[in-house]
Amino acid sequence: MTGSARQTIALVFAVVMAVMLLVLPPKAWGQPPGQIVEGPGGARYVADELIVTYAPEAARERVNAVGSKFGARTKEAVPGIDARLLSFPNGRGSLKRIKHTLKGNRAVESVDLNYFLEPTFTPNDPRFGDQYGLPQTRFPGAWDKTRGNANVDIAIVDTGIDANHPDLAAKVSAQRDFTATPEGKVAEDDAGHGTHVAGIAAAVTNNGKGVAGACPGCELMAAKVVSGGLASSYDTADAIVWAADNGAEVINVSLGAPSGSDALKNAVDYAWNHGAVVVAAVGNSGKEVREYPAAYANAIAVAATAKDGYLASYSNYGTWVDVAAPGSGIISTKLGGGYTTMSGTSMSVPHVAGLAGLLAAQDRSASGIRSRIENTATDLGTVGKDKYYGYGRINAYRAVGG
């Protein structure tokens, strides 16, 4: 390994390298994609190389002969730790078989694949350090695998979105005001709730401003259904169908009521049948009571956890809860510019919606997205699914295959 390559690895945790990841194409890493192999656990390694260390007592002639019958050549060496990088360009047997054979050589102390180390992406948004919810649910590790992309839309069915906010302006791909008659083409926020939710889900990230979004690469669709602090079931159902018809992969509904309607249920089912995942809030009364649309079978019902990682006192609960996510003291985008902190299951939902966006960017189906979110969650409370956390607090790193 060259000195330059060693310096690159030494800098993998530096923010400057994390920034470079956004603009450099894969081949800038110096290894042609065709020579990269992904192992069963997702770890990637060089297809025809092994790192070999040698027994201290081994004679030099025996050391030099290691791998010769497989046509190995020494590419580089680190004398201080008696390690060599062996290349097997002639394809004499599988790397797995060669590795097994070399391990049986008495001159050899260890044999390892030449795994790739990948930078851990840390955005340069100045308020990222205040966003405890993203590290707690392991989003930074997930971002090394995927940060979403502009082909994935997260619809925010809420009070609208402040499309002039510097952390959101570049993200709003479509909007509709369902509270206007006739329906308006601009879903301008007049309350701030939707703007806050949108920033948690997909704020512009690594732009040196404000906060990071759970799905940095995802686009946003704004569906305004709240007027005067209330949203009708009809408008909400209409907005869900509009979002599904216009290509939203994820629909965030940080709204709810203790009673539902056939129209609202049918809209959730419609979205599901059209490949969209509906993520909804379980409510903030701190009781074992159902909230709709979250309680519908084809919605993902999200409870809230506090900063200590356990269920927030205000979060509703019940056997219908599917997963939990941080909801207390969440900092995000503020109506009119700037940033503010809010609490509630409304803030938990966009964490899950952002994770759904990351999974959609991996070309997973709606059912695949849901199963990954639920099956990889960090189990809390009693073992298995329970009425407080559902399957547990989301774990973005596990979900995307980290």
How deeply is 269 buried, as exposed, middle or buried, from its count of CB atoms within 10 A (0-12, 13-18, 19+)?
A: middle
How deeply is 262 buried, as exposed, middle or buried, from its count of CB atoms within 10 A (0-12, 13-18, 19+)?
A: exposed
Q: What is the 3-state secondary structure (H, E, C) of 213-278?
A: CCCCCCEEEEEECEECCEECHHHHHHHHHHHHHCCCCEEEECCCECCCCHHHHHHHHHHHHCCCEE
Q: Is 96 helix (H, G, I), strand (E, B) or coil?
A: helix
Closest CA to 154 of 271, 277, 24: 277
The answer to whether the CB of 324 falls within 8 A of the CB of 394 is yes
Q: How far apart are CA 218 and CA 172, in angstroms?
A: 10
Q: How far apart are CA 27 and CA 185, in angstroms?
A: 42
Per the document, the length of the chain is 402
Residues assigned a catalytic role: 158, 193, 346
Residue for token pair 């599904």? 244
